[in-house]
A = this chain, B = another copy of it.
Amino acid sequence: MEKKVSASVINRLPRYYRYLTDLMESGIERISSKELSERMCVTASQIRQDLNCFGGFGQQGYGYNVKHLHSEIAKILGLDRGYTAVLVGAGNMGRTFAMNTKFESRGFKLIGIFDIDPNKIGKEINGVEVMDYALIRSFIKKYKPKMAILTVPKTAIHAVAEELIGYGIKAFLNFSYTELSAAEDIAVENVHLSDSLMRLSYKILEHE
């Protein structure tokens, strides 16, 4: 697993993971690259190429052992580490993300939600209580979450990120519609929902 894997392969791994989870939940124990390719709507050779990056988990004439492949991809993505997360910003986006994300089945645990709005503090979202942002420092010191999901307004993002970095957070999932630039030792994944609309627009043109 020492070989450097390309970003585009890494980007596809969560998708493999999702499909393999579905297969496991349906009780399917093994699958050929042809069957997997039909389900995932990619070519079988793409699948073989992608999975070969990690030494390949398939066997000629047998296909892939679903459970084994699932657990190997989980390891590659770090889903076996049990990373914990806090979410900052209990507005629409934060609420939706907290409610729609299968944290536990993806190997994560959402341990705290924070906001500054007194109307939100004390309410529960998906079983997790919204706490006062003023308490986040002591919470982080105590529970040492590995990542912070930031669903705060664009104007607040840099101040919040800097503050949390000061408390020792080194990984951010950023929904704030602005890129969060990262120092060397900070991991950042920026999510821009409206980019997907622009990509669809480009695909419409391609189809015309």
Question: Does A11 have its Cβ within 8 Å of any Cβ on chain B?
Answer: yes
Interface size class, chain A: 35 or more
5 closest pairs, A vs B, by CB?
Answer: A14-B195, A187-B203, A14-B198, A189-B200, A78-B201
A174 smallest CB distance to B (angstroms): 9
| Copies of this protein in the complex | 2
User: Is B92 in contact with A202, judged by CB distance below 8 angstroms?
Assistant: no
Contact partners of A192 in chain B: CB under 8 A: 14-15, 18
Contact partners of A97 in chain B: CB under 8 A: 193
A165 smallest CB distance to B (angstroms): 13
Taking A15-B179, A83-B201, A92-B99 as known contacts, 4 extra A-B pairs with beta carbons closer than 8 A to each other, sorted by chain A number, are: A13-B202, A147-B201, A149-B197, A171-B207
